[in-house]
Amino acid sequence: MSHAVIDYRNLFALDRKVALVSGGSRGIGEEIVRALASAGASVMLTDILADEGHALAKDLRGRGLRAEFMRQDVADEVQWEMAVAAVVAKFGGLDILVNNAGIEKQSLIADLCFEDLQKVLDINISGVLLGCKHAVRAMRPGGIAGKGGSIINISSIAGLGGIPALSAYTASKGAVRLLTKSVAVECAQLRTAIRCNSIHPGLIDTQMAARFLQGFVDLKLAESVQASKEAFLNQVPMGELGRPQDIAAAVVYLASDAARYVTGAELHVDGGYYAM
């Protein structure tokens, strides 16, 4: 029986796709922006850090890639409307949204400050939900982009189980895991051609990870950053921290047509942490 030959390299390519990445100025978000652009997408990166964001977009354009920066606070709904409208106006569509912006506050539960809690929930939950809302409005049939798409929400291993001194963050990342599944099921059943998946990074070597390890020392839960790191790595079968590119590669897969039948999934990129 003859069989159509599929070019699997093309299946992973993002040529002619348009992406919006929140929190794209540094860390994991920066690497996601670099990965999507180098895989062929036009990328609008947004962040509250404007200098770094402009510099990244300029660097990518200097390499012949397509990238623009726009300042956006993800906790503000009006700024989501503006960001989605801007990416469609600039690049002619919207196929990929990566809800990457997120913050972490470490505190023992007994000392949790209400303002900190509210800020974590506003950015990590409301920011992601608002991103899904405005991307779905644009991507669904009849929307200003209208061709369906892929939404990728960056959760965490902290969205899968408990971690001491991290209750606000784990609450928010657990919410991201489940809101992703609701958006996925709804969008699939309404035949919008929109997929929605979550990625669960382990500890990734970024400024956030450095602050996280230092936080255990500050809270007197570890004697030193080195001891804090060793205690964490003892729980990672691969015995090392992850790198931003490990997460960026997972984003490229979920964004691409190779993941056509994948929605509502949670992709653990954690060196085996949750396999134990």
Ligand X SMILES: NC(=O)c1ccc[n+]([C@@H]2O[C@H](COP(=O)([O-])OP(=O)(O)OC[C@H]3O[C@@H](n4cnc5c(N)ncnc54)[C@H](O)[C@@H]3O)[C@@H](O)[C@H]2O)c1
- Give Cα 124 distance to the centre of its chain: 10
d(CA 69, CA 30): 11
Q: Which is nearer to ligand X, 27 or 271 (CB)?
A: 27
Binding residues with ligand X: total (CB under 6 A): 29
The angle, 0 to 180 degrees and rounded to 10, between the axes of the packed helices 50-62 and 27-38 is 20
Contact between 234 and ligand X per CB under 6 A = no
Contact between 197 and ligand X per CB under 6 A = no
**What is the set of active-site residues?**
169
d(CA 188, CA 68): 30
Q: Which is nearer to ligand X, 72 or 192 (CB)?
A: 72
d(CA 29, CA 234): 27
- Which residues touch 160 (CB under 8 Å, ≥6 apart)? 174, 177, 200, 266, 268, 274
d(CA 158, CA 199): 11
Contact between 25 and ligand X per CB under 6 A = yes
CB of 204 to ligand X, least distance (A): 4
Residue 197: φ, ψ to 5°: -135, 160
CB of 76 to ligand X, least distance (A): 8
d(CA 38, CA 238): 28
Of positions 12, 13, 38, 48, contacts ligand X by CB under 6 A: 48
Q: Candidates 11-19, 189-197, 206-214, 260-268 — which segment interacts with ligand X by CB under 6 A?
A: 206-214
Do 265 and 197 form a contact (C-beta atoms < 8 A)? yes
Contact between 23 and ligand X per CB under 6 A = yes
Contact between 271 and ligand X per CB under 6 A = no
CB of 251 to ligand X, least distance (A): 11
Q: Candidates 3-11, 66-74, 110-118, 219-227 — which segment interacts with ligand X by CB under 6 A?
A: 66-74
Contact between 263 and ligand X per CB under 6 A = no
Do 267 and 168 form a contact (C-beta atoms < 8 A)? no
d(CA 61, CA 59): 6
DSSP category for residue 126: I
Of positions 208, 236, 254, 259, contacts ligand X by CB under 6 A: 208
Question: Which x/- pattern, by CB under 6 A, does the window 68-107 give for ligand X?
Answer: ----xxxx------------------------xxxxx---
The footprint of ligand X (CB under 6 A) covers: 22-23, 25-29, 47-49, 72-75, 100-104, 123, 154, 156, 201, 203-204, 206-209
